[in-house]
Amino acid sequence: MPPYLAGREAEQQEFQRLLKQETILDNMVLTGLRGVGKTVLLERLKPTAIKEGWLWVGTDLSETISVSEANLATRIITDLSVVTSALTLNAGTSEQVGFTATPSPILQPMNYAFLNRKYEETPGLVVDKLKAVLEFVWSILKQTDRKGIIFAYDEAQNLSDNAPKEQYPLSVLLDLFQSIQRKGVPFMLVLVGLPTLFPKLVEARTYAERMFRILSLSQLNDKDRRDAIVKPVQDAKCPIKFSDASVEIIADLSGGYPYFIQFIGREVFDVWIQRLTAGVETAIPVEEITRKLDTDFFTGRWARVTDRQREMMYVISNLESCDGEFSVQEIVEESAVVLSKGFGNSHVNQILVALTNQGLVYKNRHGKYSFAVPLMAGFIRRQYD
Ligand SMILES: Nc1ncnc2c1ncn2[C@@H]1O[C@H](COP(=O)(O)OP(=O)(O)O)[C@@H](O)[C@H]1O
Ligand SMILES: [Mg+2]
């Protein structure tokens, strides 16, 4: 968690609204580039939900690149059992031997073994078995004053259907929630991931389009980026203070991306602490920080691209819209200007596919492309300058 979580009020309000739903019609997708602040916002939403009477389960899916349906089921039951194991149900009474014995209730905790048995005993497909488990859990849970359960999955862009292997975990997940929500079970999905996530959901199940409220995180605005820089050092005991000019430089360098704000903020703080002479503000070492950022953040990704791919990325970095969206056509045209030998249409397409697979660009729903890494274009131009 950052020392101060700046902005994101609108997103938190929207989440509050989703928590008010009696019947779940809207689930949530929280999406944005790497480092934009999805995970820490999710962490912030958790106590909100719990305070409103919801249970919260879930995990980070980064390790499960291609899960099978059975893996997904294990995942859900495991996550669920963490919160349900505290609940017990009455599984009949035991007769005790002896004159004074009174029958005592057998209390069965809803732990993993119990839920898993429920799963195994239910006939049918994975989705039917999971439905039975979730509906059963709700039949018990609704006797308490809980509003429902939030199922929160970070890095959810890693969930995939795998047709050649006939494994459809992503579709199973969507079918499952669609079906139980229709029956009035208040279990809500919160999926967090890169911009590829939502198109992937819609590709798996077209109804996903209507099932999710999408919150896209982008750069922090001017006020919020200032807050993110200034508030952590506001404490009277903090030896470092930033002048307005310094704040401006850090904010500009960061492009408003939270990851870069934290990275640059820490660098500046470390350098200043070392140079600290009472009351004198040293300058921000812009060049050194930029070089460090390049080495730590960009160089590794750049090293994995071929010369031809680099050339095309350079062409893109010269486009006016390089930090936003660009089309194949724009790249083709710009390449004729920038390079001695430009790229053809099919070549550009081919390279874009390769770069997409490497996670460097992504295609949005309107067929346009963007860099998947913030501030990438500036880095590329620095390599050629
Ligand atoms: N709203 C914010 N204000 C200040 N710092 C933030 C904010 N959001 C994220 N950060 C910081 O930015 C970095 C990246 O955040 P993270 O949630 O890991 O991004 P993501 O999950 O989108 O890749 C972390 O160091 C985090 O503390
Ligand atoms: Mg994250």
For residues 167 and 161, is the Cβ–Cβ distance under 8 A?
yes
Give whole-number Cα distances, 248 to 124, 220, 222, 254, in Å: 61, 14, 9, 10
Residue 2: CB within 6 Å of ligand 1?
yes
From the CB of 228, is ligand 1 less than 6 Å away? yes
Cβ of 226 closer than 6 Å to ligand 1, yes or no, is no
State residue 97 phi and psi, 5-degree precision: -85, 145
Query: Residue 109 above 90 pLDDT?
Result: no
Measured between alpha carbons, how far is 238 from 211 in angstroms, rounded to an integer? 47
Ligand nearest to the CA of 157: 2
Cα 118 from chain centroid (whole Å): 31
User: What spacing in Å lies between the alpha carbon of 1 and ligand 1's midpoint?
Assistant: 7
* Residue 38 CA, ligand 2 centroid: distance in Å: 5
What is the per-residue pLDDT for 365?
Answer: 74
pLDDT of residue 65: 54
CB 39 less than 6 A from any atom of ligand 1: yes
Q: What does the pLDDT look like over 281-332, one tens digit per residue?
A: 678 888 889 999 999 999 999 999 999 999 999 999 999 999 999 999 999 9
pLDDT at 366: 80
The band of 106, judged by pLDDT with boundaries at 50, 70 and 90, is confident
Cβ of 225 less than 6 Å from ligand 1: no
40 pLDDT more than 80: yes
Question: 168-182 in b/e burial notation, b at 16+ Cβ within 10 A?
Answer: bbbbbbbbbbbbbbe
Asked if 343 contacts 312 with a C-beta cutoff of 8 angstroms, the reply is yes
Q: Residues of the chain with pLDDT > 70: what percent? A: 95
d(CA 205, CA 200): 9
Quick one: which atom of ligand 1 is closest to the CA of 8? 1
Is the pLDDT at 95 greater than 70, yes or no?
no
Coil, strand, or helix at residue 168? coil
Mean pLDDT of the chain: 90
| Distance from Cα 32 to the centre of ligand 2, integer Å | 9
Overall average pLDDT of the 270-290 stretch = 77
pTM: 0.90
pLDDT for residue 371:
93
Number of H helices, E strands in the chain: 17, 9
- Local confidence band at 243 (pLDDT 50, 70, 90 cut-offs): confident
Per-residue model confidence (pLDDT) at position 149:
96
CA-wise closest residue to 133 among 175, 174, 176: 176
58 φ/ψ angles, rounded to the nearest 5 degrees: 145, 175
**DSSP-assigned letters across all residues of 122-137:** S-S-HHHHHHHHHHHH
Distance 379 CA to ligand 1 centre (A): 21
For range 22-37, the mean pLDDT? 95
Give tens-digit pLDDT for 187-224: 999 999 999 999 999 999 999 999 999 999 999 999 99
pLDDT band for position 27 (50/70/90)?
Answer: very high
* Interval between CA 317 and ligand 1 midpoint (Å): 25
pLDDT digits (tens, 9 = 90+) for 216-229: 999 999 999 999 99
Query: pLDDT tens-digit profile of 351-374?
Result: 999 999 888 999 887 889 999 988
Residue among 158, 229, 259, 269 whose CB has most ligand 1 atoms within 8 A, to mutate? 259
Give the list of residues 6+ apart from residue 13 with CB closer than 8 angstroms, or none. none
Say if ligand 1 is within 6 A of residue 350 CB.
no
